[in-house]
Amino acid sequence: MRDRLGRDIEYLRVSITDRCNLRCKYCMGDKDIVFLPKDEILSVEEIKRVVEIFSELGVKKVRITGGEPLVRKNFREIIQGINSIDTIDEISLTTNGISLEEELEFLRSKKIYSLNISLDTLKGELYREITGGELSKVLNSIKKALELNFKRIKLNVVLIRGKNDSEIMDFVRLTERYPIDVRFIELMPIGMGKEYRPISNDEVKKIIEKERKLIYFDERIGSGPAIYYKTEFGQGCIGFITPISHGFCEQCNRVRVTAEGFLKLCLHLNSGINLKELLRSGYDNEFIKTKIVEAINNKPEKHSMREKVENKRADKRYMNEIGG
């Protein structure tokens, strides 16, 4: 499946909830958030049907996101449903890791390709300040995931200038001690992210190169836009995701379905179609496929996060609502 710019759309991210058990400062902050009513989010059966439709259009890789996906009570049913679709080769999960430890053995028995765990600091007090949660729960989840030999364990680190940018080398050393990939993700001006000062990955690389030689890792890891390196001592890789300093929209291979069933064509923009309305109006899969193909043909060329004047089509919701 290709869009009008010739980009192969092969990767689907499905948000199964807008709820979260953390309140990260750069995501929701201290704002009062009104979460979606239960009947407004896609059901287990609807999620499976959406993934089946996309698989018939050529999608082979699915990532489950939120909010925090593990807070959804029927999370296991959703995974089992997607796992039963023979044409889906890879299922990945993005999680904050708080409730992950008790789910790991179940996940290991399914087609889970990788775990992406959000972890912005290795300091317990700062973790509590940024997220409101307990760091030990995340570290225990990572330890158990290593013991269970998941194919890939990736830590997603969003750096905030003056908060956690002093820990860059601590994360680098993790990749040398364990077969873990650490990905530094530039802070995006979405939701409360606009209130904090980012640090570019160009700066991050310079900081690392003062102490380590970065060796380009010329091997595809997953389906995302990260550029990977290793140090001379690395077991895992160091990835750089640069949506602001070095955009990668021309290579974008993904679309998102939000928790309420909106097919979102770009993380930053609000263009797309309401799949839930189509699903609940009795249309068959073939009709819905034509609507998806039409929408993807109009996938935006690029986001506008680097523009000084905000695009009127920018999605102004918080990241937990957008689906990350």
Q: Which is it for the CA torsion 129, 21, 241, 177, positive or negative?
A: positive
Q: What is the pLDDT of residues 15-58, one digit of tens each?
A: 999 999 998 877 777 767 789 999 999 999 999 999 999 999 99
pLDDT at res. 242? 82
Q: Is the pLDDT of residue 274 over 90?
A: yes
Evaluate the CA torsion angle 198, 98, 322, 240 in order and state its sign: positive
pLDDT (mean) for 101-129: 94
So what's the pLDDT on residue 87? Answer: 95
Q: By three-state DSSP, how is residue 90 classified?
A: strand
Give 39's DSSP letter: G
Tokens of 151: 């194919």
Query: Tokens 């018939």 label which residue?
Result: 56
DSSP 183-196: EEEEPPSSGGGGGS
Domains belonging to the chain, first-starting first, are 11-322 (3.20.20.70)
CA 157 remoteness from chain centre: 12
Determine the Cα–Cα distance for residues 319 and 324; give it in Å rounded to an integer. Answer: 6
As beta bridge partners, residue 297 has none
Per-residue H/E/C for the chain: CECCCCCECCEEEEECCCCCCCCCCCCCCCCCCCCCCHHHCCCHHHHHHHHHHHHHCCCCEEEEECCCHHHCCCHHHHHHHHHCCCCCCEEEEEECCCCCHHHHHHHHCCCEEEEEEECCCCCHHHHHHHHCCCHHHHHHHHHHHHHCCCCEEEEEEEEECCCCHHHHHHHHHHHHHCCCEEEEEECCCCHHHHHCCECCHHHHHHHHHCCCCCEECCCCCCCCCCEEEECCCCCCCEEEECCCCCCCHHHCCEEEECCCCEEECCCCECCEEEHHHHHHCCCCHHHHHHHHHHHHHCCCCCCCCCCCCCCCCECCCCHHHHCC
Round to the nearest angstrom and report the end-to-end CA distance of the chain. Answer: 22
For residues 234-253, average pLDDT: 80
Nearest CA among 246, 229, 121 for reference residue 171: 121
Which segment of 65-74, 177-186, 196-205 scores lowest on mean pLDDT? 196-205
Q: Is 241 left (phi over 0), alpha (psi -120 to 50) or beta?
A: beta
pLDDT band at 198 (very low <50, low <70, confident <90, very high): confident
pLDDT bracket for residue 320 (50, 70, 90): low
Non-local CB neighbours of 36 within 8 Å, separated by 6+ positions: 18, 259, 260
Q: What percent of the chain is predicted at pLDDT more than 90?
A: 69
Residue 64 token pair: 């489950």
Instruction: For residue 109, give both structure tokens.
Output: 């028995």
Taking only the tens place, the pLDDT of each residue in 122-175 is 999 999 999 999 999 999 999 999 999 998 999 999 999 999 999 999 999 999
Query: Given this model, what pLDDT does residue 266 score?
Result: 83
